Chains A and B, each alone.
Chain A
Amino acid sequence: MLAKRIIPCLDVKGGRVVKGVNFVGLRDAGDPVESAQRYSEGGADEITFLDITASHEERRNLFDLVDRAASTIAVPLTVGGGVRERQDVNELLHAGADKVSINSAAVADPSFVGEMAEAYGSQAIVVAIDAKRVPDVEGRWTVYTHGGRRDTGLDAIAWAKQVADLGAGEILLTSMDRDGTRDGYDLVLTRAVVDAVPIPVVASGGVGTLEHVYEGLASAGADAALAASIFHDGHYTVAEVKRYLLGQGVCVRPPEAD
């Protein structure tokens, strides 16, 4: 049976972790590769780097970082943030990313998704959707781009279906309402997208407790749970999350030390 995946996400800028990772004994809390390695050793099923670099010069650091990470960790690596054109996708995959996540560029030109899936295979192309509830309208979310600053007016569910049709291999779904709140995933949104598309959905935004991870996977039906701060702050290890999920009857790949 296919396991639900647990994916720690690291925000990086200029090749460094933006928010320090609170691991005991980490030599360099700012080095994404060292953190990624710790997470993969602890049972992470995949690692995601989200690059929030603004300048073109700093992008070079990202490619170096991806190259180092791919040489070090032996689990799949997804890289997103600032992916605008084919060259970006090509360079990231060439540097060793297994999947590249596309957000604003997909909204700006949906055919970009299809072209990249055609060129590199659907398995390599993730579309990241940042969705926010429309106030006072039940069950409606719109897609935001540019780091959550711009409301595109696109219906999030319809957009999810569209990118799946275009050839995206996976959807990384972030609730803008929940991101950073520690109130848990937006389960209604997640369930709506899971039911709408035939491709895997990664839930993101809002995890604060073990129960939240369970709800995202079991109640909302997400294929994978992405989380950042609960891991970085040292609240929980990946192994603790997995042991909890196993105890709740969720199929996950057990931490190897077990």
Chain B
Amino acid sequence: MTTGRVAIVDLGLGNLHSVAKAFERAGAKPVLSADPEVLLSADRLVMPGQGAFKECSHALAGEVGEAVRAWIDSGRPYLGICLGMQALFESSEEAPGEPGLGIFPGSVRRFSVDLRDESGVRLKVPHIGWNQIASTHPVFEDGAWYYFVHSYYCVPKDEALVVATTDYGGRFCSAIARDNVLACQFHPEKSQHAGVRVIGHFLGDVSWS
């Protein structure tokens, strides 16, 4: 496996410990940084995310955001996790008026307050726990279970971006992919073997791009 150097974008918004550890377990030696030079000199970029869209938007307003944009333009592999996926879009209901990176047209919406399953049972928000995806993308496994923790989900304008969906009171977009950009709403770093395999694919030969 040619992992190269992996940089993890540290927006100062939460604990990146588990993401870093997951990449270490997969054989990489990730660097956590908010320094554009460090980020741009890596071979792979990961943007994890915990916290709120507003703080994320503010953190990306300066040179870090520019570095992420430049990175994506450069065609090198990008993996966004949770908020690192949501930040790729233009806006979020979580923080009206606060811009995302706008790499892709679309927005981030909140699960309905009266979310119900097929039998009418009220579903809880945040969506916390293990859920399955439906996917035909080579990085993800159709039918595999991944760990989710979120109240908001991405709604890309271009439906062709969606490479995985998950059912929670209806199907929502749980992963996207386009060229060198890969992003998922769930947490591969918390998803046991299924998650380790996602990271392995990302670190692998980039045949998904």
* Residues of A near any B CB (own CB < 8 A): 1-3, 5, 40, 45, 70-71, 74-76, 93-96, 98, 120-123, 169-170, 198-200, 223-224, 253-254, 256
Chain A residues lying within 8 Å of B131, measured Cβ to Cβ, are: 1-3
A207 to chain B, nearest CB (A): 19
B27 to chain A, nearest CB (A): 14
Residue pair A76, B192 in contact (C-beta under 8 Å):
no
Could you give, for residues 138-173 of chain B, a 1 whenever the CB lies within 8 Å of some chain A CB and a 0 otherwise?
000000010101000000000000000001100000
Residue pair A70, B123 in contact (C-beta under 8 Å):
no
The closest CB in chain B to the CB of A118 belongs to: B52
* Residues of B near any A CB (own CB < 8 A): 14-15, 17-18, 21-22, 24-25, 50-52, 117, 122-132, 145, 147, 149, 167-168, 189-196
Chain B residues lying within 8 Å of A121, measured Cβ to Cβ, are: 14, 50-52
Residue pair A74, B128 in contact (C-beta under 8 Å):
no
Residue pair A94, B191 in contact (C-beta under 8 Å):
no
What separation, in Å, do the CA atoms of A256 and B196 have in the docked complex?
Answer: 13
Number of A-B contacts (CB under 8 A): 79
B124's partner among A96, A120, A199, A253 (CB-CB below 8 A) is: A199
Query: Can you name 15 A-B residue pairings with CB atoms under 8 Å?
Result: A1-B131, A1-B132, A2-B129, A45-B130, A74-B25, A74-B195, A75-B191, A94-B17, A96-B17, A98-B190, A121-B50, A121-B52, A199-B124, A200-B128, A256-B193
Residue pair B18, A45 in contact (C-beta under 8 Å):
no
The closest CB in chain A to the CB of B145 belongs to: A253
What separation, in Å, do the CA atoms of A27 and B101 have in the docked complex?
Answer: 49
What separation, in Å, do the CA atoms of A75 and B191 have in the docked complex?
Answer: 6
The closest CB in chain A to the CB of B188 belongs to: A74
Chain B residues lying within 8 Å of A170, measured Cβ to Cβ, are: 128
Chain B residues lying within 8 Å of A3, measured Cβ to Cβ, are: 129-131, 145
Residue pair A75, B15 in contact (C-beta under 8 Å):
no
A206 to chain B, nearest CB (A): 22
Residue pair B130, A74 in contact (C-beta under 8 Å):
no
Chain B residues lying within 8 Å of A223, measured Cβ to Cβ, are: 124, 129
What separation, in Å, do the CA atoms of A253 and B124 have in the docked complex?
Answer: 18
Chain A residues lying within 8 Å of B122, measured Cβ to Cβ, are: 198
What separation, in Å, do the CA atoms of A79 and B37 have in the docked complex?
Answer: 37
Chain B residues lying within 8 Å of A224, measured Cβ to Cβ, are: 129
The closest CB in chain A to the CB of B189 belongs to: A74
Q: Which residue of B22, B128, B192 has the most chain A CB atoms within 10 A of its CB atom?
A: B128
A70's partner among B17, B51, B129 (CB-CB below 8 A) is: B17
B162 to chain A, nearest CB (A): 19
Residue pair B124, A93 in contact (C-beta under 8 Å):
no
B147's partner among A1, A76, A199 (CB-CB below 8 A) is: A76
The closest CB in chain B to the CB of A95 belongs to: B17
Going nearest first, the 7 A-B pairs with the smallest beta carbon separation are: A253-B145, A3-B130, A253-B130, A96-B17, A123-B149, A71-B21, A74-B192
With A75-B147, A199-B124 in contact, is A98–B129 under 8 Å at CB?
no
B94 to chain A, nearest CB (A): 12
Residue pair B21, A70 in contact (C-beta under 8 Å):
yes
What separation, in Å, do the CA atoms of A1 and B143 have in the docked complex?
Answer: 11
B150 to chain A, nearest CB (A): 8
Chain B residues lying within 8 Å of A96, measured Cβ to Cβ, are: 15, 17-18, 21
A98 to chain B, nearest CB (A): 7
Chain B residues lying within 8 Å of A122, measured Cβ to Cβ, are: 126
